[in-house]
Amino acid sequence: MASFSLRSFTGLRQTSPDSQAVTLFKPQIGRSTGRRSLQVKASKSSPKVTGRNLRVAVIGGGPAGGAAAETLAKGGVETILIERKMDNCKPCGGAIPLCMVGEFDIPLDIIDRRVTRMKMISPSNVAVDIGRTLKPHEYIGMVRREVLDAFLRDRAAAAGAEVINGLFLKMELPKAPNAPYVLQYTSYDSKSGAVGERRTLEVDAVIGADGANSRVAKAIDAGDYEYAIAFQERIKIPDDKMAYYEDMAEMYVGDDVSPDFYGWVFPKCDHVAVGTGTVTHKADIKKYQLATRNRAKDKILGGKIIRVEAHPIPEHPRPKRLADRVALVGDAAGYVTKCSGEGIYFAAKSGRMCAEAIVEGSENGKRMIDESDLRKYLEKWDKTYWPTYKVLDVLQKVFYRSNPAREAFVEMCASEYVQRMTFDSYLYKRVVPGNPLEDLKLAVNTIGSLVRANALRKEMEKLSA
């Protein structure tokens, strides 16, 4: 059996000597017990902030920025959130795990669909039904980003954060210890009109939640990363077609829909989101999108495209994710998983964890913070989620490299053991060692699937010769 050398994720912790082996599948969950109270651990040597509370700017109003701003405001920190597009419609599948609904108190009325069935469709159009292992209360939530993002921002504002409709431009770094960061932005409030008004803002710390093209990341020279282009069309389909997608989502794999990712059809309130992505062949993204639409054509026949969206999606964490009193979260930090392309939960979670570190380090906004406070956020993040990133990196390397490998992957997804572990991993965000006997059976079956898929490919090549 071929061995695969794993590239370490830049910026994430290395494995400890006793955790070098990464089990391919076996996530397991412990349900979240809810929000914990923040334990104050500020250094008594940190200077107190006089005449006001610690002031933090959150740049970006997506899930990462909204979660960060709410946590900061509730923790006694003066919080300013700057977001340019208040109706942001990012080309995102919009799937959120069950644990996010509970951890972030997401109201059920903003969840468009509760997906309990999925079809994984191979390059040869073999479809495997997934979801048989879900318990009655379990589902994958489908949301529209403009709805979710607005909800999180509004909740941050209700907690005391100031939300500014503005475009962050640049910032001047402090010229002395504990001196402020000077931010420049264009405000688009009702007084400044469509052109906007150039303004400045002084803050003690900055959280960069401004996405894959983060200007905050550039300001601290955080380095570049590989990224995918995601392309999505929202398609309004007839009611009888929409009934099929009531609680169903589809994922298509194959060289036709993407050389290194997958295509999707995810249901929303009154339409479906059809999309795909690629890292290696960005110039061909529209060709892959057309192929994805064609693969699903019978089920979306008569549909009308109501919105087209495209956006870069990071493929791994940035080389540097903090500097002094500036930290990156969400897509700005590179927190999107390979193989699945998931980022919403990790964005919101990283925003909250970063904000918690600031609240703790500042004694609820009473003291100045420094880089050591923000580093606690990184250490906690890496310890908690490093295994998840590595496992999904392995999956992408093994199963997305060729059509025969994708056929084997889809065949493997028919296993209830694989489905149970995969859904446990996705729904609850924990990875633990698997059952040794079942893992051995899985390895044997996977090899068999790969052999059969390669044999089929060779026969097809003979027929076409």
- Domains with residue ranges and CATH for the chain: 55-88+146-225+317-389 (3.50.50.60), 95-144+226-314 (3.30.9.100), 399-464 (no CATH)
Interval 166-189 mean pLDDT: 95
**What's the whole-model pTM score?**
0.84
Ramachandran region, residue 365 (left: φ > 0; alpha: ψ -120 to 50; beta: rest):
left
| Per-residue model confidence (pLDDT) at position 135 | 92
Q: Tokens standing for 259?
A: 């050389």
C-beta separation of 104 from 64 below 8 A: no
Interval 99-103 mean pLDDT: 94
CB-facing half-sphere around the CA of 149: CA atoms within 13 A: 24
289-347: pLDDT as tens digits: 999 999 999 999 999 999 999 989 888 889 999 999 999 999 999 998 877 778 899 99
DSSP 325-392: TEEE-HHHHT---TTT---HHHHHHHHHHHHHHHHHHTTTTTB---HHHHHHHHHHHHHHHHHHHHHH
Burial 80-98 (b: 16+ CB within 10 A, else e): bbbbbeeebbbbbbbbbbb
CB-facing half-sphere around the CA of 360: CA atoms within 13 A: 18
Does residue 32 register a pLDDT over 70?
no
- By percentage, how much of the chain surpasses pLDDT 70? 82
| Per-residue model confidence (pLDDT) at position 148 | 96
- Residue 420's alpha-carbon distances to 11, 19, 102, 234, in angstroms, are 31, 23, 20, 30
- Using the 8-state DSSP alphabet, how is residue 172 labeled? E
Quick count: other Cβ atoms within 10 Å of Cβ 161? 27
Q: Where are the beta strands (DSSP E) in 132-255?
A: 140-142, 162-172, 181-187, 197-203, 205-208, 227-236, 248-252
- Using the 8-state DSSP alphabet, how is residue 37 labeled? P
Burial classification of residue 437, based on how many CB atoms lie within 10 Å of its CB (0-12 exposed, 13-18 middle, 19 or more buried) = exposed
Q: Tokens standing for 145?
A: 């980003």
Quick count: other Cβ atoms within 10 Å of Cβ 370? 17
